[in-house]
Chain A
Amino acid sequence: MYTTEFDYHRAGSVQEALALLAANPDAKLLAGGHSLIPAMKLRLASPPALIDVSKVAGLRGIRLEGVEVVIGAMTTHRDVEFSDVLRAACPLLSQVAPLIGDPMVRNRGTVGGALAHADPAADYPASMLALGASMTIASTSGERTVPADEFFTGMFETAVAPGELLTEIRVPAATLGEGQAYEKFAHPASRYAIAGVAAVVRTQGGSVSSARVAMTGAGYHAMRLTKVEEALVGQTPTPEVVEAAVRGAVSPDELLGDHFASAEYRAHLVEVQARKAILRALGSAG
């Protein structure tokens, strides 16, 4: 299948990418292309120009910077999957990456591309919310930082404005007593999340001192499950407490329904995945 015709531009630096964006306001940014190219082949998208940012210098790589892990936006899912830095400092992302697509998709797809695309069933968004990540966004007027909580604004919509480029993701490194886990119920064919839940839970002296729990796949965009978080904090995390905390985690009114899974079924799946993720996070708390 051929896409419609387009002009191709390759940016070598962030400045060059921003200048190309300014000169081609209708252009789409091309990272790994594993959401955009299929959409273009199906003619769901027909941008007049593509700006390839996959080779922008300095945007690929994972490094520890103080108490944060910094992930360049053009870091591939494969880089995440095999990163020793993440395995030690952010095991959640090491769990999530190998669940995305398949090996060939992971070889091309990028963290920044996936987050900026904001597919409602993508795996990373729930993790970024649970981790309390922040996104660095560049524009010709400088850089700004957006917390994950304000990043996902709608279905395929994010805080990245026209003319801007997501350059890096900053994730707080795991601390003592913290456990992280992601559980998803995948669509049997596409493997996208029908309901996925990421949990980052910290315990201190036998009780939960903080909990960040977020879901993806079931709603219009990834979101925190704040009722669940509030029900956990301060409690001794027995299986019964967790079971009670996830009950009614999200209302079907807030969720998507389709021929595969109704909103009510997704609400149920969110509870199940939340229970599994929280219990596994608690079990892995170091």
Chain B
Amino acid sequence: MNRVPINLNVNGKATRSDVEPRQLLVHFLRDTLGLTGTHVGCDTSQCGACTVHVDGEAVKSCTLFAVQADGASVTTIEGLAHEGRLHALQEGFWEMHGLQCGFCTPGMIMSAADLLAHEPDPSEEQIRHALEGNFCRCTGYHNIVRAVRHAAEANARGASSEPVVAADD
């Protein structure tokens, strides 16, 4: 089995690894790096549960070989919270009850983060269009859209988010 070396920066940490060319990025993140926040849903490029950022753009990591991301910066859901504070979108999903089972949530948040990066004040229609590649089978999407608006408004206010609540609180 041939293996090729790749260099990635994942959530700010440089990593070097030898991978099989056919290893998908999502399996590299989950199985090799142990970053299991990125989920495998449909595994057919439809549901968006595996969405991560590669060089700042949301991609479906089930439809990308790890070797294609060689040299790139990858951000996963684990990389969004900063210094113990949740990302505005994580806050938004919490505050607006944007999830039920939570399976689609990491992908939803990564897609929404890509949207907010180039459209900081999106309309409801823009949010729905931007989340076309993410399926949620629980919420009916309504609270997800509200969660993204919540984050956009919080960013506009420049409000600092609440500290992460520790598991034993």
Contacts and interface: CB of A to CB of B under 8 A. Distances in A.
Contacts of B132: 102-103, 191
Interface string A166-177: 000000000000
A78 interface: yes
B48 A102 contact: yes
A104 B68 contact: no
Which has the most chain B C-beta neighbours within 10 Å: A34, A102, A105?
Answer: A102
B64 A6 contact: no
A50 B68 CA distance: 11
A162 B60 CA distance: 30
B64 A101 contact: no
Contacts of B75: none
Contacts of A7: 2, 21
A233 interface: no
B89 interface: no
A103 B21 contact: no
Contacts of A107: 57-59, 114
Contacts of A34: 45, 63
Which has the most chain A C-beta neighbours within 10 Å: B2, B21, B43, B118?
Answer: B21
Nearest to A107: B57
Interface residues of B, number: 32
Interface in B1-31: 1-2, 4, 20-24
A54 B129 CA distance: 26
A37 to B, nearest CB: 5
A35 B67 CA distance: 17
Interface string A58-85: 0000000000000000000010001000
Contacts of A234: none
Interface in A1-27: 1-8, 10
A108 B51 CA distance: 12
A187 interface: no
A10 B69 CA distance: 12
Given A54-B68, A103-B58, A108 B63 contact: yes
Nearest to B130: A103
B43 to A, nearest CB: 5
Contacts of A243: none
A41 interface: yes
A52 interface: yes
A121 to B, nearest CB: 15
Contact of A38 (B22, B48, B63, B115): B63
B133 interface: yes
Contacts of B141: none
Given A1-B43, A103-B58, A37 B20 contact: no
Interface string B100-122: 00000000000100110010000
A33 interface: yes
18 contacts: A1-B43, A2-B22, A4-B22, A5-B1, A5-B22, A37-B65, A52-B67, A54-B68, A78-B57, A82-B118, A103-B58, A103-B114, A104-B59, A104-B60, A105-B60, A105-B133, A107-B58, A108-B64
Q: Which 6 A-B pairs have CB atoms at the shortest separation, nearest pair first?
A: A102-B133, A8-B21, A102-B132, A107-B57, A3-B22, A104-B60
Interface of B: 1-2, 4, 20-24, 43-45, 48, 51, 57-60, 63-65, 67-68, 70, 111, 114-115, 118, 129-130, 132-134
